[in-house]
Structure 1
Amino acid sequence: MQQLAVHASRRGVEIDVTTNADRRRVVFAHQDLADRLTEHPLNYQRPDQWTGYIPPAMWQGLPNRSPRRDALVAIYEEALSRSAQGQVAA
């Protein structure tokens, strides 16, 4: 998969090679972010029901403007930001 990403990148195409497990690990390191998975518009009964999947940015050639996707991206990006800053959940 990494080779595919490098090949695509050289041609100006970005491919997300992050796995669902990677995304879950990053988000679940912050309990408040994991808890947001149970809020609208995601509405999981428990945070651990989220597989780590984030729908693609493009769907059938059009931008994916799903509120669920937007919420997942926001949660994941916040988790990445905290990780980059060395913040660990208390």
Structure 2
Amino acid sequence: MKYVVYGLTSVLTSSAAASAVMRYAVALGQTGSSDLVAIPAVDIAGVPIAVEVFLGPGVPLLAEPAADDLLEPEHREFVDDLAERTRFLTARRSERA
């Protein structure tokens, strides 16, 4: 599990989801793009939620480790979606170069 820290708050999500968000944020920054992403997370009571986050150039974001959770969700659909968005941005950037 990891905390995605955004502004003055943090979002607890799976390690895979946090890494996907970070990679996508880098791709958005490199292409001068922005997007609104609903990160799958859990609230303080452990209830699954989705947290909408604006990603774009100049938006500070970090991921920090949280306590390991044996029941950590994979968030596979979310991770795959962000991976596809990242590939699209990276390919578009390569075409412009």
Common fold by TM > 0.5: no
Query: Which structure's CA Rg is the greater one?
Result: 1
Which structure's residues are more often strand, by fraction? 2
Superposition TM-score, scaled by structure 1 size: 0.38
Which structure's residues are more often helix, by fraction? 1
Q: Comparing both chains, which one has the higher relative contact order based on Cα–Cα distances under 8 Å and sequence gaps of 6 or more?
A: 2
Superposition TM-score, scaled by structure 2 size: 0.36
